Copies of this chain bind each other. A is one copy, B any other.
């Protein structure tokens, strides 16, 4: 799926890049030979043939009801003149991130980042060795950290995510994401995005959708990677946010990150933020946990064709298997609602041919 990955890396080039990358190598090679013989008119004809050779936009999805529901939905809303047609500017699709687009086990990526930051900053804070939740974070004792509850997590967040400018934090997050590896798969976290979901993002965009991320994760933690990994630009990333304060430092304006939560983009917060920031109801919403339940309900309550989809982590051998009892990405009430209302529940085990993109 190198071709799709390449297209994702160059979103500005758009559909044409996607089409070109999807033309098999031998077709392109043949195109070059023909060109040398017959000139530019022949090239145009071969290019047209190449367009037809572009076949499956979702090659990592097995045939089955999940894939069929996606393709049917897209076909209905994109078919001009059809009864379910929706103008392109109204085709909004919202995606949760953790557990929907990339791995969230054994802990949320941002939590791993936080633990790593505590270790990095510890030499300047000798008192942390004896104070929870920092002691637990330094010793990798997640139970001790968890025992400090919300207060402890807020302390860790304040110590690791605030007190710098937005530009400084962006660099810290980008640098960490450039080297940090997943403990089980030993790939960069940014390589632990789900290949079938990358295809789905590109497929929706090819069909005129504007793809948004609507995640409980921090918006400024995600932005350094979303464009490169998912093809989603910064202005289409919604997440939890802390307050910032505009200041002049030596006459230069900066935005200082403050240790105060501004918005938690989870559960009810998702439709609230979608309404406030996007101002349109999504046509399609994708999640994997109870944190996404209200976003899917809000999407489902619109008129006309809608697509609500949950990724169910049931693949212990290739990724992880968890749902109703998990502390990260619990899928319990939303699974009941999905089953009751006929939302699509994707089985990673049965619906997906591969989990991760090939590592470059």
List A residues at the B interface (Cβ < 8 Å): 11-12, 87-89, 92, 166, 210, 219-220, 223, 233-235, 237, 241, 243-246, 248, 252-253, 255, 262, 268, 271-272, 275-280, 294, 297-298, 301
Contact = CB atoms under 8 A, between A and B. Distances in A.
A276 B235 contact: no
A253 B270 CA distance: 13
Given A89-B12, A294-B253, A279 B245 contact: no
A155 B195 CA distance: 52
A46 B89 CA distance: 31
Given A12-B88, A166-B275, 11 more contacts: A12-B87, A234-B280, A235-B278, A241-B276, A244-B276, A245-B272, A246-B272, A248-B297, A253-B298, A253-B301, A262-B276
A92 B92 CA distance: 20
A279 B144 CA distance: 35
B279 A219 contact: yes
A279 B246 contact: no
A253 B272 contact: no
Given A294-B246, A301-B252, A280 B235 contact: yes
Q: How many copies does the complex hold?
A: 2
A360 B322 CA distance: 61
5 contacts: A11-B89, A234-B280, A245-B268, A248-B297, A253-B294
A253 B89 CA distance: 24
A234 B12 contact: no
